[in-house]
């Protein structure tokens, strides 16, 4: 499974990319609004940093506006993916933009049927938001499982990109469900690395090593 970062924070992207963990990046208007710098400038900087797809979202709500924004975004870098919401106008824009060869990530997907329509319209990525579904008492992972099954049944080209990931368990469940990609805040990727037994195990190794250096008699003594 591919792992993406769901952030527009360049420092976090650089830090985790240096470990070879970042297959791509997703942003959205909320994430971009949190960071300094102008939107397009930021997209260019992220695209340079990451050797993989970078989703940048349109903010127009009508077909023509979305298509014009998509054309601008696609010119910024070869790895830009245009993020379009799964509204009727958004689906129409997905068809127009994807048929020009620009990859589209259809976002704000909360049901498998919305995802199916997105795939039909030509999306390269479908983004179900699982955390937000969990928040309202539904099982977000169900949408992922359904979409993975639909993709397999019909050999759809659209990849299932799990969004609104809140904790490492979401990543694990997405992987077990066979999702293509999970996108997560940097803190979730950090937490995936951590285990208290790793820390205590390492401490014990180092303590034993230091003690042995001081106390162990030499073989030749």
Of 39 and 129, nearer to ligand E4P (C-beta) is 129
Closest approach of ligand E4P to the CB of residue 129, in Å: 5
Closest approach of ligand E4P to the CB of residue 126, in Å: 11
Number of residues forming the site for ligand E4P (CB under 6 A): 11
Distance, in Å, from the CA atom of 89 to the CA atom of 104, rounded to the nearest integer, reads: 14
Scanning residues 130 to 169, which ones bind ligand E4P (CB under 6 A)?
A: 131-132, 163-164
Stretch that binds ligand E4P, among 84-92, 126-134, 141-149, 193-201 (CB under 6 A): 126-134
Please, are residues 161 and 127 in contact by the beta-carbon 8 Å criterion? yes
- Is 83 annotated in the active site? yes
In 204-219, which positions are buried (b, 16+ CB within 10 angstroms) versus exposed (e)? eeeeeeeeeeeeeeee
Marked catalytic residue, from 2, 34, 48, 83: 83
Of 91 and 204, nearer to ligand E4P (C-beta) is 91
Of 52 and 131, nearer to ligand E4P (C-beta) is 131
Scanning residues 11 to 50, which ones bind ligand E4P (CB under 6 A)?
A: 26, 28
Instruction: Select from 131, 147, 143 the least CA-distant residue to 188.
Output: 131
Contact residue for ligand E4P among 12, 94, 98, 107 (CB under 6 A): 107
Of 45 and 206, nearer to ligand E4P (C-beta) is 45
6 binds ligand E4P (CB under 6 A): yes
Closest approach of ligand E4P to the CB of residue 2, in Å: 13
Please, are residues 88 and 68 in contact by the beta-carbon 8 Å criterion? no
- Residue 68 vs residues 58, 80, 151, 152: alpha-carbon distances, Å: 9, 15, 30, 33
Scanning residues 72 to 91, which ones bind ligand E4P (CB under 6 A)?
A: none
Distance, in Å, from the CA atom of 138 to the CA atom of 115, rounded to the nearest integer, reads: 17
- Alpha-carbon dihedral angle through residues 50, 82, 172, 116, given to the nearest 10 degrees: -150
Q: Which residues bind ligand E4P (CB under 6 A)?
A: 6, 26, 28, 107, 127, 129, 131-132, 163-164, 183
Q: Residues with catalytic annotation? A: 83
């Amino acid at each position: 499974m591919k792992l993406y970062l769901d952030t527009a924070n360049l420092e976090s992207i650089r830090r985790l990319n240096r470990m070879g963990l970042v297959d791509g990046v997703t942003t959205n208007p909320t994430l971009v609004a949190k960071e300094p710098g102008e939107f397009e400038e930021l997209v260019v900087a992220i695209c340079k940093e990451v050797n993989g797809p970078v989703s940048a979202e349109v903010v127009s709500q009508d077909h023509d506006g979305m298509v014009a924004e998509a054309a601008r975004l696609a010119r910024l870098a070869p790895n830009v993916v245009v993020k379009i919401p799964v509204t009727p106008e958004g689906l129409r824009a997905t068809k127009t933009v994807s048929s020009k060869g620009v990859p589209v990530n259809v976002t704000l997907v909360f049901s498998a049927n919305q995802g199916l329509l997105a795939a039909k319209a030509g999306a390269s990525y479908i983004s179900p938001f699982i955390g937000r579904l969990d928040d309202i008492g539904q099982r977000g992972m169900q949408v992922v499982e359904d979409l993975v099954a639909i993709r397999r049944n019909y050999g759809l080209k659209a990849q299932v990109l799990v969004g609104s990931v809140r904790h490492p368990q979401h990543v694990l469940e997405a992987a077990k469900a066979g999702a293509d990609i999970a996108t997560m805040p940097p803190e979730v990727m950090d937490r995936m690395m951590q285990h208290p037994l790793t820390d205590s195990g390492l401490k014990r190794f180092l303590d034993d090593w230091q003690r042995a250096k001081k106390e162990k008699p030499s073989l030749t003594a």
